[in-house]
């Protein structure tokens, strides 16, 4: 029933990209996002697309899965496209009938803005597809740890995130199970108006909350009985290490950013 | 009411790296009035199989027929069919949600659209079936009961729908011996007195030895063997290869046989074994006595 949620779902295969240091992958993603926003011409978008293809190939994640992550955003992308297409004015009028005016500039902007959205989502889902949630929050903790100096609770935040992420599949599974059990007792979650449906959720939500609280209590007990008391002096089972591949990847992405900046300076206005 | 399964295959996460075949080409029938036991190692596909029996899971390929009607056919009222096939999940106490025991048990009958009097009668009937005193428990919150009592409330919630077939997935898992015995004797009674067809999934061979009229052994998504408990439990080697054991009585019996005692190979109930051992004992005493009489001293 609930097995079609891809956003932020880890795709467990072994690849060069999967083995990269999560800290590095976070930095790479940030650089990639900057590159997407710096790109203003056709050449830049081709470079970005080429990079995405390359990264996807290296990560052994099927391209289809990357596209699947775009599905929840398709309405926003279409809306962006249409708004830019119809409401951008320029000099080169292409189509004009009734109150609709489509300019060449408008069309270009529509294409670029939609592509930008698509690249952003695809790039970030590549990060979540190749990095397990635990590794990801480890990476975030390490990147934020300089902030501990100003008493920012980096460790606690990362631990909360890890736990939350860890329990998403568990709670989904639980939801699925309770839903099935209530369906077997004749519950109907799919028909009726909004009020009827909201009421039908009660037999699902009450057991789900009860079990979430029970799990939280159990987990707290288990952590305390193993002497967990926060970040102070805690060592790690898996120490993050950067390898040669991490630096190569950083080189590639920095090169991408540099090319896009250069292309923005020298080619802007040449093609459009 | 009979259920027939033809060439049922079920694959989880088809088309991804997590693809797993849970059931492969399973064919079986469930006859009216039988007590069918489904046994198998963890991950052998038992739970997946029972969820197909009332249409909660759709087969990847193959069909499920209820009284000759295809459960996944286009114009089938699955909700109506579901009410005739009650399914009790593993750890059903986690599905309780109402303020009182009576209200929770009434959830199923209410969904069937029964009148208030009928619902009340069903609740009393179901609580009686699971041996919970109506006076004492009906107005209590299900969350303040013990684990075993909660489980019985949850089972009552399904019995209250008066299904013709009752399917239970590991109904005794995680219960103490007394809670387990209560559930088993309740099922025994339901089968004997109400003639409800019961399908029970379990990996307790002793539970099965006590109740089942027929057994299906599953391994790696396939049916490994089917037959009466006597047939199944006498094949200790096959059971071991499926990662299962045999009831304690059967294994004790085979140990005794290995030591040279003259016992039949297919005993699996405690009473049977007792009879046979007493018989052997009497014979032995008789022989000893006759031996003494025949001695020259």
Nearest Cβ partner of A186 from B82, B92, B95?
Answer: B82
Judge: A185–B107 Cβ closer than 8 Å, yes or no.
Answer: yes
Domain check: are A4 and A118 in the same one?
Answer: yes
Q: What is the pLDDT at residue B105?
A: 95
Is residue A148 in a domain?
no
Compute the average pLDDT of residues A19-32: 89
Q: What is the pLDDT at residue B169?
A: 92
Show residues of chain A in contact with B56, CB under 8 Å: 180, 183-184
Q: How far apart are CA A256 and CA B141, in angstroms?
A: 63
Share of chain B above pLDDT 70, in %: 96
Judge: A186–B95 Cβ closer than 8 Å, yes or no.
Answer: no
Total beta-carbon pairs less than 8 A apart between chain A and chain B: 62
Domain check: are A246 and A193 in the same one?
Answer: no
Nearest Cβ partner of B111 from A180, A187, A210?
Answer: A187
Compute the average pLDDT of residues A26-32: 91
Q: Please say if the pLDDT value at position A252 is more than 60.
A: yes
Q: Please say if the pLDDT value at position B167 is more than 90.
A: yes
Nearest Cβ partner of A184 from B12, B13, B87?
Answer: B87
Instruction: Please spell the DSSP secondary structure of chain B, one letter per residue.
Output: --EEEEEEEEEESTTSTT-EEEEEEEEEEE-TT-EEEEEE-TTSSHHHHHHHTTTSS--SEEEEEETTEETTSTT--HHHHHHHEEEE-SSGGGG--SSSHHHHHHHHHHHTT--HHHHHHHHHHHHHHTT--HHHHTTS-GGGS-HHHHHHHHHHHHHTT--SEEEEESTTTT--HHHHHHHHHHHHHHHHHH--EEEEEES-HHHHHHH-SEEEEEETTEEEEEE-HHHHHT-HHHHHHTT----HHHHHHHHHHHTT----TT--SHHHHHHHHHHHHHHHHHHHHHHHHHS--
Q: How far apart are CA B275 and CA B181, in angstroms?
A: 23
Is residue A154 in a domain?
no
Domain check: are A82 and A191 in the same one?
Answer: no
Q: Report the mean per-residue pLDDT for chain A.
A: 83
Of A230 and B209, the one with more pLDDT: B209
Q: What is the pLDDT at residue B122?
A: 94
Domain check: are A43 and A30 in the same one?
Answer: yes
Show residues of chain A in contact with B51, CB under 8 Å: 180
Q: What is the pLDDT at residue B106?
A: 94
Residue A4 confidence class, pLDDT cut points 50, 70, 90 = very low
Compute the average pLDDT of residues A41-65: 85
Domain ranges of chain B: 1-76+164-244, 92-163, 247-289
Phi, psi at B28, each rounded to 5° = -165, 165
Q: What is the pLDDT at residue A63?
A: 82
Range of the domain at A193: 159-238
Is residue A99 in a domain?
yes
Task: List Cβ neighbours of B42 (8 Å cut-off, separation of 6 or more).
Answer: B203
Nearest CA-CA distance, residue B223 and chain A, Å: 25
Is residue A67 in a domain?
yes
A-interface mutation test, from B12, B17, B97, most A Cβ less than 10 A away: B97
Q: Partners of B217 in the beta sheet? A: B39, B225
Phi, psi at B168, each rounded to 5° = -125, 125
Task: Note the pLDDT tens digit of each residue in A66-91.
Answer: 887 788 888 888 998 888 888 877 77
Q: What is the pLDDT at residue B204?
A: 85
Compute the average pLDDT of residues A252-257: 89
Judge: B92–A181 Cβ closer than 8 Å, yes or no.
Answer: yes
| Predicted TM-score of the model (pTM) | 0.72
Domain check: are A94 and A36 in the same one?
Answer: yes
Domain check: are A40 and A164 in the same one?
Answer: no
Q: What is the pLDDT at residue B263?
A: 85
The residue of chain A with its CA nearest to that of B113 is: A186
The residue of chain B with its CA nearest to that of A3 is: B13
CATH class, range B1-76+164-244: alpha beta
Domain check: are A232 and A246 in the same one?
Answer: no
Residue B294 confidence class, pLDDT cut points 50, 70, 90 = very low
Among A13-27, B14-28, B67-81, B112-126, the range of highest mean pLDDT: B112-126
Domain check: are A125 and A246 in the same one?
Answer: yes
Domain check: are A177 and A127 in the same one?
Answer: no
Looking at the 3D structure of chain A, how many domains does it have?
Answer: 2
Of A189 and B99, the one with more pLDDT: B99
Q: What is the pLDDT at residue A20?
A: 86
Q: Please say if the pLDDT value at position B136 is more than 90.
A: yes
Domain check: are A12 and A114 in the same one?
Answer: yes
Least confident span in A43-52, A111-120, B287-296: B287-296
Compute the average pLDDT of residues B108-130: 92
> Which of B244, B236, B197 has its CA nearest to residue B217?
B244
Residue A156 confidence class, pLDDT cut points 50, 70, 90 = confident
Nearest Cβ partner of B54 from A13, A184, A203?
Answer: A184
> Which of B199, B170, B163, B185 has its CA nearest to residue B84?
B163
**ipTM, two decimals:** 0.82
Is residue A146 in a domain?
no
Compute the average pLDDT of residues B2-7: 89
Of A47 and B14, the one with more pLDDT: A47
Domain check: are A123 and A195 in the same one?
Answer: no
Task: Note the pLDDT tens digit of each residue in A140-150.
Answer: 888 888 887 88
Is residue A138 in a domain?
no
Domain check: are A119 and A53 in the same one?
Answer: yes
Judge: A185–B18 Cβ closer than 8 Å, yes or no.
Answer: no
Show residues of chain A in contact with B47, CB under 8 Å: none
Nearest CA-CA distance, residue B31 and chain A, Å: 21
Phi, psi at B88, each rounded to 5° = -105, 120
Of B192 and B17, the one with more pLDDT: B192
């Amino acid at each position: 029933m609930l097995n079609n949620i891809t956003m932020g779902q880890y795709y467990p295969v072994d690849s060069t990209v999967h083995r990269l240091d999560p800290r590095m992958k976070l930095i790479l993603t940030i650089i990639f996002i900057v590159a997407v926003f710096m790109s203003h011409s056709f050449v830049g978008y081709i470079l970005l697309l080429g990079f995405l293809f390359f990264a996807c190939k290296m990560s052994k994640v099927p391209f289809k899965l990357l596209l699947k992550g775009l599905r929840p955003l398709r309405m926003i992308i279409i809306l962006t496209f249409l708004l830019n297409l119809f409401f951008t004015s320029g000099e080169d009028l292409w189509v004009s009938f009734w109150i609709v005016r489509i300019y060449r500039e408008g069309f270009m902007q529509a294409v670029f803005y939609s592509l930008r959205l698509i690249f952003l989502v695809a790039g970030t889902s590549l990060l979540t597809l190749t990095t397990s949630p635990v590794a990801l929050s480890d990476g975030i903790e390490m990147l934020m740890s300089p902030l501990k100096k100003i008493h920012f609770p980096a460790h606690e935040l990362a631990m909360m995130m890890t736990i939350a992420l860890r329990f998403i599949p568990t709670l989904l599974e639980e939801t699925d199970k309770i839903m099935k059990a209530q369906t077997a007792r004749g519950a109907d979650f799919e028909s009726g108006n909004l009020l009827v449906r909201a009421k039908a959720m009660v037999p699902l939500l009450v057991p789900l909350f009860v079990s979430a609280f029970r799990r939280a209590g159990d987990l707290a007990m288990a952590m305390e009985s193993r002497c967990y008391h926060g970040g102070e002096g805690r060592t790690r089972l898996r120490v993050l290490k950067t390898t040669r591949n991490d630096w190569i990847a950083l080189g590639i992405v920095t090169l991408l950013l540099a090319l896009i900046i250069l292309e923005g300076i020298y080619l802007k206005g040449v093609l459009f | 009411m009979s259920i027939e399964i033809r060439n049922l295959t079920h694959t989880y996460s088809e088309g991804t790296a997590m693809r797993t075949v849970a059931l492969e080409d399973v064919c079986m029938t469930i006859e009216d009035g039988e007590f069918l036991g489904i046994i198998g190692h963890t991950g052998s596909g038992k739970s997946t199989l029972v969820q197909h029996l009332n249409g909660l899971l759709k087969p990847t390929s193959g069909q499920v027929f209820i009284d000759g009607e295809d459960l996944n056919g286009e114009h089938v009222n699955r909700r109506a069919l579901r009410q005739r096939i009650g399914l009790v999940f593993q750890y059903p106490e986690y599905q309780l949600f109402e303020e009182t025991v009576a209200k929770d048990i009434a959830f199923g009958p209410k969904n069937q659209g029964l009148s208030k009097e009928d619902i009340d009668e069903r609740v009393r009937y179901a609580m009686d079936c699971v041996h919970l005193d109506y006076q004492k428990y009906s107005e209590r919150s299900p969350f303040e009961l013990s684990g075993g009592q909660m489980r019985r409330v949850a089972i009552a919630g399904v019995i209250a729908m008066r299904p013709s077939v009752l399917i239970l997935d590991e109904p005794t898992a995680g219960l103490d011996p007394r809670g387990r015995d209560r559930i088993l004797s309740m099922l025994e009674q339901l089968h004997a007195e109400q003639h409800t067809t019961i399908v029970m999934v379990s990996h307790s061979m002793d539970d099965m030895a006590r109740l089942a009229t027929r057994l299906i052994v599953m391994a790696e998504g396939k049916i490994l063997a089917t037959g009466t408990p006597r047939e199944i439990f006498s094949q200790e080697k096959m059971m071991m290869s499926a990662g299962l054991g045999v009831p304690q009585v059967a294994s004790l019996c085979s140990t005794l046989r290995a030591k040279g005692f003259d016992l039949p190979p297919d005993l699996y109930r405690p009473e049977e074994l007792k009879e046979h051992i007493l018989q052997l004992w009497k014979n032995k005493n008789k022989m000893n006595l006759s031996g003494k009489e025949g001695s020259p001293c």
